[in-house]
Structure 1
Amino acid sequence: MSVKPKLTRFQQNVVSKYQIYNSIFMTLPFDAITKTGVLLPLFHETCEKGFKNGDNPTTIVETFFEKYQGRRNEQSQINLLFRFIQYIERQVVLFDAVEDAAFPVVNNMDGVGTLRNLKGSATSEGKMKELQEFLEEFKVRIVLTAHPTQFYPGSVLGIITNLKHAIEDNNLSEINNLFGQLGKTPFFKHKKPTPYDEAKSLIWYLENVFYKTFGEIYNYIQTNIYADGKKHNEIINIGFWPGGDRDGNPFVKPETTLKVAKKLKKAILKRYYEDLKDLRKKLTFRGVEERVIRLETILYNYSIDLKYKKRITAKELRLELLSIRNVIVNEHQSLYVNELNNLINRVHLFGFRFASLDIRQDSRIHHSVFTTVADYLIGKGNSSFPDNYHDLSESDQIKILSKVTDTLDDLEVFEDEMVGNTLKTIGVIKKIQSMNGERGANRYIISNNQTALNVMQLFAMLKMVAFQDNLTVDIAPLFETIPDLENAPQVMEQLYQNPEYMAHLRARGSKQNIMLGFSDGTKDGGYLMANWGIYKAKELLTEMSRKYDITAIFFDGRGGPPARGGGRTHNFYSSLGPTIEDKEVQLTIQGQTVSSNFGTLDSSQYNLEQLISSGIKNRIDGERNKLSDEDRVVMNDLAETSYQVYKDFKSHPMFIPYLERMSTLKYYAKTNIGSRPSKRGSSNKLVFSDLRAIPFVGSWSQLKQNVPGFYGVGTALKMYEDRGEFDKVEQLYNNSKFFKTLLENSMMSLTKSFFDLTKYMADDPEFGEFWTIIYNEYLETKRLLLKVSGYDELMENEPAGKASIGVRESIVLPLLTIQQYALKKVQELNKAEVKDEEQIKIFEKIVTRSLFGNINASRNSA
């Protein structure tokens, strides 16, 4: 049977189905405003024609009202715009559900990058032993973060799931009911979620998706690649940030962290109980049934009450299940042994923790907290800190910190809330380890890490508060900005040369966790430099760590879109080459990237398998992926040039005013999608360094000018063209999978850009010149990316992905138009001599409400 091309499968199973269901959807009345469903296609057509004619959003909206709604008063027109927003938001949900339902048909679940494909290749090439050896030491960890780029409330996520199933079954009456439910379910959150709310919404994915897919993948490897039923390396595990990530979030308290850890434990116990309940119906044999019932009863009670008297440990549960398995194998012809194995494997994968909670805080906060602690200990006397501690050199301070013997027993002596909470959190880590197992919380990330002293201050605090005898926590410095990335190897060498810190690493398996940030890297250094800076840092950190016989475990803050290090992530991991440590792939996943890449059982399994095979592919292709000296020079040159161009752009006097007044930046805080404040400092004035990466990247995305994903690339490539050396860039593109992946992800950013939307800004007396600078860079980048790739159009190598973006962008075109129209109105009303505050409020509400659908449609734009 011949398989149709991916694009054809996408058109038939996604686009055609969406059009059919959308036509039903458009006939449903959701509210008092009649004919919204009839008018929206007319508005859509007006937008398309208007932009083709070079009209601006204001003209397009006004033309539509004149032509079709001449008799409506102004209030009625505004109401209609709100109804359009509501309809479009729900159209995006419909498209999500249709695309999710078609996932296994559009994507070949046995194709390249899947485990079945991997096993087939290894078998045919006689490399099964090598594959087994690799999988015994390789790990993939995806870390769910609470970063607010998911605009769907939990209730809507539930509808998407049900809608997906109804679409798979072509169940029209159920689809109609769900459309009705969708129409009446609010998308807007009236108050910000708490960090605990964020944790609960992500635990939904653990319970409903990852519990199943992790188990399926591990079972497949155990039975098909090893075929021995024994316990092997877990290969995949999951990290968790909500409730533990304090960086810039004053609402994450020590109690929050403990509450989230308890919730995680209860959630996994509940899943084990449900599996045992199913097994009990099957394992009705002598000498087995009563043991299964006993376990079921214990786990049921334990999942409700963590202080339950007859509770058992994860190890005891596993041993009892193994013992039951022996009885089934020896006395009952191995009946249902596979189902029992599935549960044993899940206990091996998740323990009683479900996910590993990471703690994260900024080095500047630590420094301030530590200074208070040191002052207190010096003042108390009889301390390992000398009176002149603060005057000592950094290396002398590190020596003292590495040998610290003081203990902080009473934390109530610290009146400052930040000091108390930071120190109490360390105590909470110890408590979680005794409750959920060591891996319940055993990593502490220091964001904005700049020096070895930053690491040693935390090292000392951990020991003084709770880990005097045995430090069972990995300290992970996070290097974010370009200078910090360049400085990272020296920082690590300083730590490796410290005997006490080295002894700690040896006790932790001679591994050092190092996190490298993309979001702030791109914000700081632009697209090419952020990616190249991280690549070079990884090479130097690998070399430095190997010199001291330490394995570097790299953890990438990749996020979602290319501008935040995302895009086709597995391509990056398969292109790193032999000079970068590759024993583990660890990356952050957030917002819509959770729901789009891991939101269903099919997409989760497919994308996890792609990540596993990317590590294996890098190991196989290692030498081929190694950059030649000549290619390195070109890559470095391109990155340096684009970095300079991006820095000049950032320091343009209009850069901050443009974001502040022409984009949706300041509206992010009003969306109530995340518990964190949308910027760092408390200053009323917008300061670049205070800008959080998500609102920063997201604002460019809403403008449809995805600057962080391409700016500087075109100019850097043009420099080679002008010098008549473009063949060197082409050679790099053909030789380096890393560079090729970089440029292909940049193409995705360009594909999601639409400058016709904001072309009116070119005539703005204040911002016209600045808009033109961005537009020209976009044109140059597009032209030269096509030239270097040999493509006729962007994303030519990914027609189905391009088609998906095309449909999504088309759905939200009216929404973007309304948003720009409202932004323009706000600007005009603010300039008026007499400000109409009521009107300003209404149009600002339109801007805020329109953010949701645009972000959700992009699935990974922020």
Structure 2
Amino acid sequence: MSSSKHSAQRLALFNQEVVTRFELYNSLFLTLPFYQVKDTGILLPFFSSHCEKGVAQLKSPTEIIDSFFEERVPGVDEREQVNRLFRFIQYIERQVVLFDAVEDASFGKIPRTDDSGTLNGLLQQVASDDDMREKIAEKLRNFSLRLVLTAHPTQFYPGTVLTIMTDLIEALKANDISTVNLLLQQLGKTPFFNKTSPTPVDEAISLIWFLEHVFYYALADIQTKLNEEFGTGELLHQIFELGFWPGGDRDGNPNVKTDSTRKVAYTLRQIIFRCYYRDYRNLKRRITFRGVEEAMGKLGDILYVNAFNPQPDASDLQQEMIDLLESIKNTLVEDHDSIFVEIIDDFALKIKLYGCYFASLDIRQDSRVLRSVFQFGLNQKELNNGLPTDKWEELSEDEKLKLISFNEFDFPCDEEPAKGADPMINDTLCTIRLMHQIQRQNGEKACHRYIISNCQQASDILQLMNLFLWCGWTKDDLTIDFMPLFETVNDLKHAADVMEKLYSHPVYKEHLKRRGNRQMIMLGFSDSTKDGGYLMANWSIYQAKVELTAITKKYDIELAFFDGRGGPPARGGGKTHRFYAAMGKEIANDHIQLTIQGQTVSSQYGSIETAKYNIEQLVNAGVTSALHPNHRDLLDDNHKSLISTMANESFEKFMALRKHPVFTQYLENMSPLKLLSNINISSRPTKRNAGAPLKLEDLRAISFVTSWSQMKQNVPGFFGVGSALQKAKDSGKWQEAVDLYKSSGFFKTMIDNSMMSMSKSDFRITAHLEHHEQYGEFWKILKSEYDLTKANVLELTGTEELMQESPIDKRSIAMRERIVLPLVVVQHYALEKMKNTQDEELKSAYSKLVIRTVYGIVNAGRNLA
């Protein structure tokens, strides 16, 4: 069957299973009499249609909404108009949830374009090839996948809504209309937002829901399948690991304190024991034979006490639990014909995967803060050891590397800082001490990584090592992995030099040897996009990976890259597994580590079924080299030169845009940027240096990308790409660029993800700004680059429409964009009204209106994940 015919069939199935079913259930939903205005559900389809027509006619949001009320609800005053708009928003928010649920319920029924990337696809490829099976088994013995959940606020469903959505998906799968109707009623009456901002611990608890209900089962299922297919009973090592940032990531979040970290570590421990206890109760119903009573009793006591009672003096019980299960299994094998042994094996596997910690709690802090803490230490007489206190920061990097003394000292630290003490310094020192306690109680893997954000020099890492030695740790017992995070274009360029200085430093060299000669390096995408644009960010990371791999191999060290990719393509998301499948031999790719953030968590890992599919995609990408050793993405010098030229052109175009005199003003005044801090979905501020005037370098990448997406302009995901391709065309390199798209998985994925960003852009909504006195010229620059990028990308890919090769994703995006179009119109209308009204009460109402529209628009953007 031709691929086009297959695509048409899949699209027809999608329309039948998703689009038609959504429209049917949506018609039911709109008849439910929820809010103060009884006819909201009746009016909403007319309002949506009116917005579509108005946008198509390039009318301004104010014209669209004013004309709607004149036509459909004449005579109501401005306050009642605002009230009606709030009701529309409440319905649309829930329509997004309904569409999510319908789409998720149909997941197993619609063949995916990437089915070859699943575990079953992998098994089919090696079904009759023992040699290939052994190659994959060998690859898997040195492969690992770590998924790290972060608290970045890019999706706003509270736990109550997630639970309803889970039940709704099951009811939809069974076509249980009565239950669907009840759940829609529940959804209609359940709040979608918090009255107050969550604490870091609240954020952690929200994400732990996914650990408990999805990852706990999904990872164990896949590990079991891999063990059965490629291992001799069991693989030689643990393939899967979970990481966790809420409560540990204090980079720029003043609300994360030592106590937050302690509470999150405790909660992770308690929840994993509750998961175990649930499994134990099922186990107890089956293992009812003589000879196991004592071991079963001990295991039950351990699990119950740790699941439900506070354990201030907890200890790592992983091995004890495994030993008890092994004892029970031996009795079953020897005395009871091995009955129910598979249940014991499944339980033991989970305990091996998750221990007493569930997910490793990463600690992250900015290098500038860590430098100030180190300076504080130098100022203490008992720690100084003769170092030049006053002039330390003036020393050259080489001088610092020679002088750092690595003297051990047990510096006292109280979580309640003394009067006049810097709370950030105090927190840093107390957290370093706390990491030791967490390891003792939950196991070494519970908290063994310290990430240095904005890492610019080797001394940033060595000074942090010294801080550990000042806080009770010893060189011989420093069970910590120090991980630099390189994120700006400039830092990525110098990353290999920084690491070489570390690898050749005698103290760090010894530390690495004790850690198994393994080094983890984090590369951040979001800030490099904000720093240099989409194309340059991708290329800078690619080049940095090549250079870092080479320098690490030189010192015979095993390297794992930790990628800060997540959310939309503008923050490094999109079809992430394709990036890993496209890594050439020049790039270390035996260990995949990446952040799972925002809408990516619920869209790709919201159910066991979708989680297993997406995890298997990443596993498949990791073993591609064993399957096709000669098909790896190895860019030759000409290709590298071409991409480099295009990246530089894109960078110059993006930097010129950033330097435009109204760049920051446009973002502040025409998007909800200034109001994002009022949305109670995150414990962290929208920018660093919260009290200072807005500077682009202080603006968090997530706020930067979200603001552009709210305007439906998605600038970080495409700007400069069109000019870069035009540069190739003008310099006679066009055919090379076309060939590169066809041959390079890296380049193709980069372009395809950019197309995904563009497909969610709609410049018609802001077309009225073309003649704006202050912003007209700037808007034309954005629109011109969008048009150029779209034209060149379509020509490059040989297609007539964006995402033509991904018809289901394209259709899904179109449906979501149609659902939330009224929200976008209302948002721009409310922003305009805020500026022009003098009535403080109305100004506040419009501000709240803007904030509420943000929820639905972002939640509907899950395809960007």
| TM tier, smaller | over 0.9
Report the CA distance between 1:188 and its aligned residue.
2.1
Contact 1:542 1:551 in 2 (8 A): no
| Distance in 2 of aligned mates of 1:386 and 1:841 | 55
| Distance in 2 of aligned mates of 1:769 and 1:110 | 42
| Distance in 2 of aligned mates of 1:264 and 1:7 | 42
What residue is the counterpart of 1:86 in the other structure? 90
SS in 2 for 1:478: strand
SS in 1 for 2:547: helix
Match of residue 453, structure 1, among 450, 453, 459: 459
| Distance in 2 of aligned mates of 1:688 and 1:312 | 45
Counterpart amino acid of residue 828 in structure 1: N
Match of residue 257, structure 2, among 253, 277, 302: 253
What residue is the counterpart of 1:686 in the other structure? 694
| Distance in 1 of aligned mates of 2:575 and 2:752 | 9
Tell me the alpha carbon deviations over residues 419-477 of structure 1, each in whole angstroms, 9 at most, x when there is no partner. 11100000010000001100000000000001111111101101211311411000000
What residue is the counterpart of 2:743 in the other structure? 735
Match of residue 557, structure 1, among 560, 564, 567: 564
Aligned counterparts, 1:97-108, within 5 A: 97-108=101-112
What residue is the counterpart of 1:748 in the other structure? 756
Q: Which shows bigger deviation, 565-574 or 852-861? A: 852-861
What residue is the counterpart of 1:546 in the other structure? 553
Counterpart amino acid of residue 344 in structure 1: A
SS in 2 for 1:822: helix
Report the CA distance between 1:302 and its aligned residue.
2.0
Counterpart amino acid of residue 58 in structure 1: T
SS in 2 for 1:504: helix
Tell me the alpha carbon deviations over residues 652-687 of structure 1, each in whole angstroms, 9 at most, x when there is no partner. 001001001111111111111000011101444211
Contact 2:134 2:230 in 1 (8 A): no
Aligned counterparts, 1:8-23, within 5 A: 8-23=12-27
Contact 1:539 1:579 in 2 (8 A): yes
Name the % identity.
Answer: 46
Asked if residue 353 in structure 1 is aligned to residue 357 in structure 2, the reply is yes
What residue is the counterpart of 1:169 in the other structure? 174
Contact 2:409 2:472 in 1 (8 A): no
SS in 1 for 2:482: strand
What residue is the counterpart of 2:226 in the other structure? 221
Aligned counterparts, 1:33-432, within 5 A: 33-108=37-112, 111-126=115-130, 127-226=132-231, 228-230=232-234, 232-307=236-311, 313-377=317-381, 380=382, 383=385, 385=387, 390=392, 392-401=395-404, 403-410=406-413, 415-432=421-438
How many corresponding residue pairs?
854
SS in 1 for 2:477: coil
Contact 2:315 2:441 in 1 (8 A): no
What residue is the counterpart of 2:660 in the other structure? 652
Report the CA distance between 1:116 and its aligned residue.
1.7
What residue is the counterpart of 1:832 in the other structure? none
Report the CA distance between 1:730 and its aligned residue.
0.8
Q: Which shows bigger deviation, 400-409 or 793-802? A: 400-409
Report the CA distance between 1:290 and its aligned residue.
4.7
Report the CA distance between 1:604 and its aligned residue.
0.3
Cα 1:782–1:407 change in 2 (3 A) is same
Cα 1:639–1:374 change in 2 (3 A) is same
What runs of 5+ residues in structure 2 fail to find an aligned partner? none
| Distance in 2 of aligned mates of 1:777 and 1:102 | 37
Asked if residue 642 in structure 1 is aligned to residue 647 in structure 2, the reply is no
SS in 2 for 1:792: coil
What residue is the counterpart of 1:434 in the other structure? 440
TM-score, normalised on structure 2? Answer: 0.96
Cα 1:309–1:426 change in 2 (3 A) is closer
SS in 1 for 2:829: helix
SS in 2 for 1:588: strand
SS in 2 for 1:756: coil
Cα 1:679–1:381 change in 2 (3 A) is closer
SS in 2 for 1:237: strand
| Distance in 1 of aligned mates of 2:422 and 2:168 | 50
| Distance in 2 of aligned mates of 1:296 and 1:107 | 43
| Distance in 2 of aligned mates of 1:722 and 1:861 | 32
Q: Which shows bigger deviation, 45-54 or 768-777? A: 45-54
Counterpart amino acid of residue 169 in structure 2: K
| Distance in 1 of aligned mates of 2:277 and 2:163 | 23
Asked if residue 464 in structure 1 is aligned to residue 466 in structure 2, the reply is no
Asked if residue 666 in structure 1 is aligned to residue 674 in structure 2, the reply is yes
| Distance in 1 of aligned mates of 2:314 and 2:58 | 73
Cα 1:327–1:747 change in 2 (3 A) is same
What residue is the counterpart of 2:524 in the other structure? 517
Counterpart amino acid of residue 729 in structure 1: A
Report the CA distance between 1:123 and its aligned residue.
3.0
What residue is the counterpart of 1:822 in the other structure? 830
Report the CA distance between 1:336 and its aligned residue.
1.3
Counterpart amino acid of residue 613 in structure 1: N
Counterpart amino acid of residue 653 in structure 1: P
Report the CA distance between 1:822 and its aligned residue.
0.9
Contact 2:770 2:779 in 1 (8 A): yes
Q: Which shows bigger deviation, 316-325 or 708-717? A: 316-325
Counterpart amino acid of residue 505 in structure 1: L
Contact 2:378 2:384 in 1 (8 A): no
What residue is the counterpart of 2:616 in the other structure? 609
Counterpart amino acid of residue 443 in structure 1: R
Tell me the alpha carbon deviations over residues 231-275 of structure 1, each in whole angstroms, 9 at most, x when there is no partner. 532211110000000001111111111111111011111111111
Report the CA distance between 1:381 and its aligned residue.
7.6
| Distance in 2 of aligned mates of 1:387 and 1:148 | 40
| Distance in 2 of aligned mates of 1:96 and 1:388 | 58
Aligned counterparts, 1:449-598, within 5 A: 449-468=455-474, 469-598=476-605
Report the CA distance between 1:122 and its aligned residue.
2.2
Cα 1:107–1:399 change in 2 (3 A) is farther
Q: Which shows bigger deviation, 435-444 or 722-731? A: 722-731
Contact 1:110 1:117 in 2 (8 A): no
Q: Which shows bigger deviation, 737-746 or 415-424? A: 415-424
Contact 2:770 2:780 in 1 (8 A): yes
Asked if residue 6 in structure 1 is aligned to residue 13 in structure 2, the reply is no
Counterpart amino acid of residue 480 in structure 2: V
Q: Which shows bigger deviation, 596-605 or 336-345? A: 336-345
| Distance in 1 of aligned mates of 2:566 and 2:546 | 22
Report the CA distance between 1:171 and its aligned residue.
1.4
| Distance in 2 of aligned mates of 1:83 and 1:137 | 55
Contact 1:575 1:618 in 2 (8 A): no
Cα 1:252–1:860 change in 2 (3 A) is farther
Tell me the alpha carbon deviations over residues 550-603 of structure 1, each in whole angstroms, 9 at most, x when there is no partner. 112100100211000100000000001100001111111111110000000110
Cα 1:401–1:381 change in 2 (3 A) is closer
Counterpart amino acid of residue 461 in structure 2: V
Q: Which shows bigger deviation, 271-280 or 744-753? A: 271-280
Report the CA distance between 1:725 and its aligned residue.
2.9
Contact 1:384 1:404 in 2 (8 A): no
Contact 1:90 1:182 in 2 (8 A): yes
Q: Which shows bigger deviation, 288-297 or 635-644? A: 288-297
Cα 1:382–1:375 change in 2 (3 A) is closer
What runs of 5+ residues in structure 1 fail to find an aligned partner? 830-834
Q: Which shows bigger deviation, 722-731 or 470-479? A: 722-731
Cα 1:382–1:349 change in 2 (3 A) is closer
What RMSD, in angstroms, separates the aligned Cα atoms of the two structures? 1.9
Counterpart amino acid of residue 27 in structure 1: T
Report the CA distance between 1:97 and its aligned residue.
0.8
Counterpart amino acid of residue 488 in structure 1: A
Cα 1:477–1:825 change in 2 (3 A) is same
Counterpart amino acid of residue 688 in structure 2: R
Contact 1:577 1:626 in 2 (8 A): yes
